[in-house]
Amino acid sequence: MNKQVPKIGLVSLGCPKALVDSEQILTRLRAEGYIISPSYEGADLVVVNTCGFIDAAVAESLDAIGEALKENGKVIVTGCLGAKSDVVLAAHPQVLAVTGPHAAAEVMAAVHQYLPQPHDPFESLVPPQGVKLTPKHYAYLKISEGCNHRCTFCIIPSLRGDLVSRPVGEVMQEAENLVKAGVKELLVISQDTSAYGVDVKYRSGFWGGKPIRTRMTELARALGDLGVWVRMHYVYPYPHVDEVIPLMAEGRILPYLDVPFQHASPRILKAMKRPGDIEGTLARVRAWREVCPEITIRSTFIAGFPGETEADFELLLDFLREAELDRVGCFAYSPVEGAAANALSGAVPEEVKEERVARLMALQEEISTEKLARMVGQTLTVLVDEVDEDGAIARSAADAPEIDGLVYLDEGEGLKPGDFVEVEIHDADAHDLWASRQ
């Protein structure tokens, strides 16, 4: 490798949205001819993309910056924690520069200042789909930045601002480039996927010479035409979400909806500034299942929000029993610096929060075990993620990468990551399935 070409390391922390920011930074670095170093020692400078969502993430980000400084010494900080440069600089005054999230241009400006751009950029080395951090067969497709909601536990709007939707033609072009490069599954992400286009009044863009509205349903339909799996994440329970369910029933996009409901007690939802009509939500879940019986509904919840009583928590458990959601995550409430919820009274003791998380997860485990047991004997199409001598690890339409279950195949011969294969399920536990090839 050419010793003269400047080399940059990148540490990427946080959620899929931060991962997409990292990919954009890597793409621009490669486009300008920098080499990406996989180690601290081999790098001339390190970019740390941080997360600042909860206190644990802040601590992890500060540790990662400390490690990069110790191992390399030249560090640029970006990402959600970077929006609070005072916190970063108080802990690590020696960092070279600090930028907020979604700031690839500012990161590049800082890189140019401390490690000048090589003279002969190897533009042709950058594939049209950019540089991806996910395995080659799936990719996150970020459709917007920021959020118009003001959930009281969340500081994302103050970090990333109000909703800014990416032009629909640009999103479709990126999706098509990814598919041409071999991606088999597109994971649509944003802070609020259902709000896509609200900021631009759903204006029409162009794709393939035809007008297409900047709107979730129209985007989902167009993505469905690309012939790969399309999975919708971070959908807010708005009425117009009902429109995408028929697309799932028709098989155009995956029958999978990730809707973070967060709670089910109207009082707590109100304190969270989230939609509080839980009966309406339950009716909506039932209607979705009528239109598309195979739909997988994933959600996340917060236990121990300030003011949550045992009765509120019981309402949440009742909701889970009624809704029988397929995939559920639960977090103990953790105050985030700058969040409006910090001013609410009625803090729940830590041990009560943890006990509630455990109770919720135990209930969900029962629901999930029962649901997955019903899968035994069924035939499914799965997407292979990994192959080794013991078999293969795959996912079904019901499993998003990293967060949901897996399908273990007892034989992987002739398979490779990115293959679709028909399998018959012969075993199940609370989260995963075991299967044989057809």
Least distance CB 139 / ligand SF4 (angstroms):
22
Q: Does 169 bind ligand SF4 (CB under 6 A)?
A: no
Q: Does 253 bind ligand SF4 (CB under 6 A)?
A: no
Helices (H) and strands (E) in the chain, counts: 12, 20
Q: Does 258 bind ligand SF4 (CB under 6 A)?
A: no
Q: Which of residues 313-372 bind ligand SF4 (CB under 6 A)?
A: none
In the set 141, 156, 421, 428, which binds ligand SF4 (CB under 6 A)? Answer: 156
The whole-angstrom separation of Cα 173 and Cα 157 is 27
Q: Does 191 bind ligand SF4 (CB under 6 A)?
A: yes
Residue 118 or residue 157: which is nearer to ligand SF4 going by CB?
A: 157
Q: What angle do CA 79, 82, 83 make, to 5 degrees?
A: 100
Query: Tokens standing for 159?
Result: 């970090």
* Strand-strand pairing, 164-165 and 144-145: antiparallel
In the set 47, 147, 172, 179, which binds ligand SF4 (CB under 6 A)? Answer: 147
For ligand SF4, which stretch binds (CB under 6 A), given 146-154, 239-247, 296-304, 396-404? 146-154
Least distance CB 149 / ligand SF4 (angstroms):
4
The whole-angstrom separation of Cα 218 and Cα 202 is 10
Residue 145 main-chain phi, psi, to 5 deg: -125, 150
The whole-angstrom separation of Cα 289 and Cα 438 is 28
Q: Is 120 buried (19+), middle (13-18) or exposed (0-12) by CB count in 10 A?
A: exposed
In the set 77, 151, 269, 285, which binds ligand SF4 (CB under 6 A)? Answer: 151
Residue 154 or residue 423: which is nearer to ligand SF4 going by CB?
A: 154
For ligand SF4, which stretch binds (CB under 6 A), given 147-155, 216-224, 301-309, 377-385? 147-155
Question: Can you tell me which residue has the tokens 């890597």?
Answer: 26
H or E stretch covering 48:
strand 45-50
In the set 66, 127, 135, 157, which binds ligand SF4 (CB under 6 A)? Answer: 157
**Alpha helices in 276-326, H assignment, sequence order:** 278-291, 310-323
- What are the residues binding ligand SF4 (CB under 6 A)? 147, 149-151, 154, 156-157, 191-192
